[in-house]
Amino acid sequence: MRRLDHVVHAVGDLDEAADAYRRAGFVVTERADHPFGTSNRLVLFDGSYLELVAVTRPDRIPPPAGDRPSFGAAIRRFLDGGEGGAMFVLGSDQPDTDRTLLAAAGLEPNLFSFSRPAPQPDGSVAEVSFDVVFVDALGPGCGVFLCHHRTPGLIWRSEYLRHPNGASQIREVVLVGDAADTNGLEVLAASHAAPVPGGLMFPLDGAAVTVVDADTYRDRFGVAPPDRPPPALAAAVVAGSRPVSTTIAGLHVAAAPC
Protein backbone atom coordinates (compact mmCIF):
# COMPACT_ATOMS: atom_id res chain seq x y z
CA MET A 1 0.00 0.00 0.00
CA ARG A 2 1.06 3.57 -0.56
CA ARG A 3 1.82 6.21 2.05
CA LEU A 4 0.11 9.57 2.39
CA ASP A 5 2.44 12.35 1.27
CA HIS A 6 0.39 15.51 1.76
CA VAL A 7 -2.96 17.26 1.60
CA VAL A 8 -3.41 20.32 -0.62
CA HIS A 9 -5.43 23.01 1.18
CA ALA A 10 -6.45 25.72 -1.31
CA VAL A 11 -6.84 29.10 0.40
CA GLY A 12 -7.49 32.66 -0.66
CA ASP A 13 -4.84 34.24 1.58
CA LEU A 14 -1.76 32.33 2.67
CA ASP A 15 -0.97 34.56 5.64
CA GLU A 16 -4.50 34.47 7.04
CA ALA A 17 -4.62 30.68 6.75
CA ALA A 18 -1.16 30.35 8.32
CA ASP A 19 -2.26 32.53 11.25
CA ALA A 20 -5.31 30.29 11.78
CA TYR A 21 -3.10 27.19 11.82
CA ARG A 22 -0.74 28.85 14.30
CA ARG A 23 -3.63 29.71 16.61
CA ALA A 24 -4.57 26.01 16.52
CA GLY A 25 -1.06 25.11 17.70
CA PHE A 26 0.76 24.31 14.44
CA VAL A 27 4.12 25.52 13.13
CA VAL A 28 3.90 26.90 9.56
CA THR A 29 6.79 27.44 7.15
CA GLU A 30 7.41 30.69 5.31
CA ARG A 31 6.05 31.30 1.81
CA ALA A 32 7.56 29.55 -1.18
CA ASP A 33 6.65 30.30 -4.80
CA HIS A 34 5.89 27.73 -7.49
CA PRO A 35 6.94 28.43 -11.09
CA PHE A 36 3.31 28.13 -12.24
CA GLY A 37 1.48 30.97 -10.48
CA THR A 38 0.82 29.56 -7.01
CA SER A 39 2.62 29.83 -3.67
CA ASN A 40 2.55 27.63 -0.60
CA ARG A 41 3.22 27.39 3.11
CA LEU A 42 3.55 24.02 4.82
CA VAL A 43 2.49 22.41 8.08
CA LEU A 44 4.96 19.54 8.33
CA PHE A 45 4.59 16.25 10.19
CA ASP A 46 6.51 13.01 10.34
CA GLY A 47 6.50 11.89 6.70
CA SER A 48 3.55 14.01 5.57
CA TYR A 49 2.29 17.58 5.54
CA LEU A 50 -0.56 19.98 4.92
CA GLU A 51 0.19 22.29 2.01
CA LEU A 52 -1.53 25.68 2.08
CA VAL A 53 -1.72 26.86 -1.54
CA ALA A 54 -2.95 30.15 -2.98
CA VAL A 55 -2.94 31.73 -6.41
CA THR A 56 -0.48 34.59 -6.01
CA ARG A 57 0.69 35.33 -9.57
CA PRO A 58 -2.23 34.52 -11.88
CA ASP A 59 -0.38 35.86 -14.91
CA ARG A 60 2.08 32.95 -14.59
CA ILE A 61 -0.53 30.19 -14.61
CA PRO A 62 -0.03 28.16 -17.80
CA PRO A 63 -3.00 26.54 -19.52
CA PRO A 64 -3.09 22.74 -19.67
CA ALA A 65 -1.09 21.63 -22.69
CA GLY A 66 -0.88 18.16 -24.18
CA ASP A 67 0.02 15.65 -21.48
CA ARG A 68 1.02 18.33 -18.96
CA PRO A 69 -1.78 19.45 -16.62
CA SER A 70 -1.76 22.89 -15.02
CA PHE A 71 -1.64 22.77 -11.22
CA GLY A 72 -2.17 26.52 -11.02
CA ALA A 73 -5.25 26.35 -13.24
CA ALA A 74 -6.64 23.49 -11.14
CA ILE A 75 -6.21 25.47 -7.91
CA ARG A 76 -7.77 28.59 -9.44
CA ARG A 77 -10.72 26.56 -10.70
CA PHE A 78 -11.17 24.95 -7.28
CA LEU A 79 -11.07 28.34 -5.52
CA ASP A 80 -13.84 29.59 -7.81
CA GLY A 81 -16.07 27.36 -5.64
CA GLY A 82 -14.51 28.45 -2.33
CA GLU A 83 -11.60 27.47 -0.13
CA GLY A 84 -11.01 23.97 1.18
CA GLY A 85 -9.28 20.65 0.68
CA ALA A 86 -8.52 20.52 -3.02
CA MET A 87 -6.37 17.39 -3.37
CA PHE A 88 -4.65 14.64 -1.47
CA VAL A 89 -1.29 13.29 -2.53
CA LEU A 90 0.19 9.81 -2.23
CA GLY A 91 3.87 9.03 -2.12
CA SER A 92 5.81 7.57 -5.03
CA ASP A 93 9.29 6.07 -4.93
CA GLN A 94 9.36 5.18 -8.63
CA PRO A 95 7.28 7.70 -10.62
CA ASP A 96 8.04 6.20 -14.04
CA THR A 97 6.95 2.76 -12.88
CA ASP A 98 3.88 4.20 -11.18
CA ARG A 99 2.87 6.02 -14.35
CA THR A 100 3.05 2.75 -16.26
CA LEU A 101 1.00 0.90 -13.63
CA LEU A 102 -1.69 3.59 -13.48
CA ALA A 103 -1.88 3.78 -17.27
CA ALA A 104 -2.41 0.02 -17.40
CA ALA A 105 -5.32 0.51 -14.98
CA GLY A 106 -6.88 3.07 -17.32
CA LEU A 107 -6.29 6.13 -15.11
CA GLU A 108 -4.51 8.24 -17.79
CA PRO A 109 -1.61 9.51 -15.65
CA ASN A 110 0.60 12.47 -16.59
CA LEU A 111 4.16 12.77 -15.29
CA PHE A 112 6.12 16.00 -14.97
CA SER A 113 8.93 17.37 -12.82
CA PHE A 114 9.58 20.79 -11.32
CA SER A 115 11.64 22.67 -8.74
CA ARG A 116 10.91 25.57 -6.43
CA PRO A 117 12.72 27.57 -3.74
CA ALA A 118 12.25 26.44 -0.15
CA PRO A 119 12.93 28.78 2.81
CA GLN A 120 15.12 27.10 5.42
CA PRO A 121 14.95 27.59 9.20
CA ASP A 122 18.20 29.60 9.20
CA GLY A 123 16.80 32.11 6.71
CA SER A 124 18.56 30.70 3.66
CA VAL A 125 16.76 29.43 0.58
CA ALA A 126 17.33 26.02 -1.01
CA GLU A 127 15.93 24.48 -4.18
CA VAL A 128 13.66 21.47 -3.80
CA SER A 129 12.60 19.20 -6.66
CA PHE A 130 9.70 16.86 -7.32
CA ASP A 131 8.36 14.32 -9.80
CA VAL A 132 4.57 14.39 -9.95
CA VAL A 133 2.16 11.86 -11.48
CA PHE A 134 -1.27 13.44 -11.97
CA VAL A 135 -4.43 11.42 -12.50
CA ASP A 136 -8.04 12.46 -13.03
CA ALA A 137 -9.68 9.75 -10.97
CA LEU A 138 -12.11 11.26 -8.47
CA GLY A 139 -13.76 14.23 -10.18
CA PRO A 140 -13.88 18.02 -9.63
CA GLY A 141 -14.51 17.87 -5.87
CA CYS A 142 -11.17 16.25 -5.05
CA GLY A 143 -7.94 15.94 -7.01
CA VAL A 144 -5.32 13.28 -6.42
CA PHE A 145 -1.77 12.74 -7.58
CA LEU A 146 1.44 10.93 -6.68
CA CYS A 147 4.57 12.78 -5.58
CA HIS A 148 8.21 11.76 -5.50
CA HIS A 149 10.54 13.99 -3.45
CA ARG A 150 14.03 14.30 -4.90
CA THR A 151 15.20 16.48 -1.99
CA PRO A 152 13.22 15.42 1.10
CA GLY A 153 15.91 16.51 3.55
CA LEU A 154 15.37 20.14 2.54
CA ILE A 155 11.66 19.99 3.41
CA TRP A 156 11.36 17.85 6.54
CA ARG A 157 13.51 19.94 8.88
CA SER A 158 13.28 19.18 12.59
CA GLU A 159 12.60 22.83 13.42
CA TYR A 160 9.30 22.62 11.54
CA LEU A 161 8.11 19.43 13.26
CA ARG A 162 7.82 20.75 16.83
CA HIS A 163 4.17 21.76 17.02
CA PRO A 164 2.92 23.27 20.29
CA ASN A 165 -0.17 21.03 20.10
CA GLY A 166 2.02 17.93 19.80
CA ALA A 167 0.79 17.06 16.29
CA SER A 168 3.01 14.42 14.76
CA GLN A 169 1.37 12.75 11.76
CA ILE A 170 -1.64 12.91 9.46
CA ARG A 171 -3.58 9.77 10.31
CA GLU A 172 -6.61 10.13 8.07
CA VAL A 173 -8.03 12.05 5.12
CA VAL A 174 -11.82 12.12 5.14
CA LEU A 175 -13.85 12.47 1.94
CA VAL A 176 -17.60 12.90 1.76
CA GLY A 177 -19.26 10.78 -0.93
CA ASP A 178 -20.38 7.20 -1.47
CA ALA A 179 -18.94 3.98 -2.80
CA ALA A 180 -19.80 4.91 -6.38
CA ASP A 181 -17.46 7.91 -6.07
CA THR A 182 -14.36 5.86 -5.32
CA ASN A 183 -13.58 4.21 -8.65
CA GLY A 184 -9.82 4.03 -9.01
CA LEU A 185 -9.03 4.67 -5.36
CA GLU A 186 -8.05 1.06 -4.64
CA VAL A 187 -5.57 1.22 -7.52
CA LEU A 188 -4.17 4.54 -6.34
CA ALA A 189 -3.89 3.47 -2.70
CA ALA A 190 -2.62 -0.01 -3.68
CA SER A 191 -4.89 -1.47 -1.00
CA HIS A 192 -8.35 -3.00 -0.67
CA ALA A 193 -11.26 -1.03 0.76
CA ALA A 194 -12.73 -2.07 4.10
CA PRO A 195 -16.26 -1.20 5.23
CA VAL A 196 -16.65 1.34 8.03
CA PRO A 197 -19.84 2.93 9.42
CA GLY A 198 -21.30 5.07 6.67
CA GLY A 199 -18.71 4.27 4.04
CA LEU A 200 -15.36 2.74 3.11
CA MET A 201 -11.80 3.00 4.39
CA PHE A 202 -8.76 2.65 2.13
CA PRO A 203 -5.69 1.74 4.22
CA LEU A 204 -2.40 3.52 3.60
CA ASP A 205 1.00 3.00 5.17
CA GLY A 206 0.48 4.71 8.53
CA ALA A 207 -2.72 6.50 7.50
CA ALA A 208 -6.01 6.00 5.68
CA VAL A 209 -8.40 7.62 3.24
CA THR A 210 -11.98 7.30 4.46
CA VAL A 211 -15.05 7.97 2.31
CA VAL A 212 -18.29 8.47 4.26
CA ASP A 213 -21.77 9.79 3.62
CA ALA A 214 -22.79 13.31 4.68
CA ASP A 215 -24.76 12.22 7.74
CA THR A 216 -21.88 10.12 9.08
CA TYR A 217 -19.46 12.99 8.53
CA ARG A 218 -21.76 15.46 10.31
CA ASP A 219 -22.23 13.11 13.27
CA ARG A 220 -18.50 12.54 13.61
CA PHE A 221 -17.20 16.09 13.33
CA GLY A 222 -20.23 18.19 14.29
CA VAL A 223 -20.00 20.34 11.16
CA ALA A 224 -21.62 20.31 7.74
CA PRO A 225 -19.65 18.75 4.87
CA PRO A 226 -18.33 20.96 2.05
CA ASP A 227 -20.83 21.99 -0.61
CA ARG A 228 -18.89 20.42 -3.47
CA PRO A 229 -19.39 17.57 -5.93
CA PRO A 230 -18.64 14.22 -4.29
CA PRO A 231 -16.27 12.95 -3.28
CA ALA A 232 -15.25 16.17 -1.49
CA LEU A 233 -12.12 16.35 0.68
CA ALA A 234 -13.61 17.50 3.97
CA ALA A 235 -11.22 16.81 6.85
CA ALA A 236 -7.67 15.96 7.86
CA VAL A 237 -7.18 14.08 11.13
CA VAL A 238 -3.79 14.26 12.83
CA ALA A 239 -2.29 12.59 15.87
CA GLY A 240 -1.41 15.06 18.62
CA SER A 241 -1.12 15.51 22.35
CA ARG A 242 -3.66 18.35 22.52
CA PRO A 243 -7.18 17.98 21.12
CA VAL A 244 -7.94 20.26 18.18
CA SER A 245 -11.18 20.57 16.24
CA THR A 246 -11.40 23.56 13.93
CA THR A 247 -12.39 24.46 10.41
CA ILE A 248 -9.77 26.57 8.66
CA ALA A 249 -10.60 28.06 5.26
CA GLY A 250 -13.05 25.30 4.39
CA LEU A 251 -11.00 22.32 5.64
CA HIS A 252 -11.81 20.72 8.98
CA VAL A 253 -8.66 19.90 10.94
CA ALA A 254 -8.95 17.57 13.91
CA ALA A 255 -6.25 16.38 16.27
CA ALA A 256 -6.58 13.80 19.00
CA PRO A 257 -4.13 12.05 21.34
CA CYS A 258 -2.50 8.95 19.89
CATH number at residue 205: 2.60.40.4320
Region at 80 (left for phi over 0; alpha for psi -120 to 50; beta for the rest): alpha
Backbone angles phi, psi at 65, to 5 degrees: -140, 120
User: Count of domains in the chain?
Assistant: 2
Question: 160, 177, 196 — which closes off a domain?
Answer: 160
Per-residue model confidence (pLDDT) at position 115: 95
- CATH (domain of 139): 3.10.180.10
d(CA 155, CA 201): 29
**115 and 148 co-located in one domain:** yes
**116 and 241 co-located in one domain:** no
Question: 129, 160, 191 — which closes off a domain?
Answer: 160
Q: Which residues of the chain have pLDDT under 50?
A: none
**128 and 191 co-located in one domain:** no
**66 and 190 co-located in one domain:** no
**18 and 141 co-located in one domain:** yes
**144 and 190 co-located in one domain:** no
**120 and 144 co-located in one domain:** yes
Per-residue model confidence (pLDDT) at position 137: 67
Per the structure, the complete domain to which residue 81 belongs is given by 4-160
**37 and 122 co-located in one domain:** yes
**98 and 180 co-located in one domain:** no
d(CA 114, CA 37): 13
**145 and 181 co-located in one domain:** no
Per-residue model confidence (pLDDT) at position 139: 73
> Which residues contact residue 242 at a Cβ distance below 8 angstroms, ignoring those fewer than 6 apart?
25, 164, 165, 166, 255, 257
Distance, first Cα to last Cα, the chain:
22
**44 and 126 co-located in one domain:** yes
Per-residue model confidence (pLDDT) at position 167: 96
Question: 160, 191, 210 — which closes off a domain?
Answer: 160
**40 and 135 co-located in one domain:** yes
CB atoms inside a 10 Å sphere around CB 123: 7
Per-residue model confidence (pLDDT) at position 256: 80
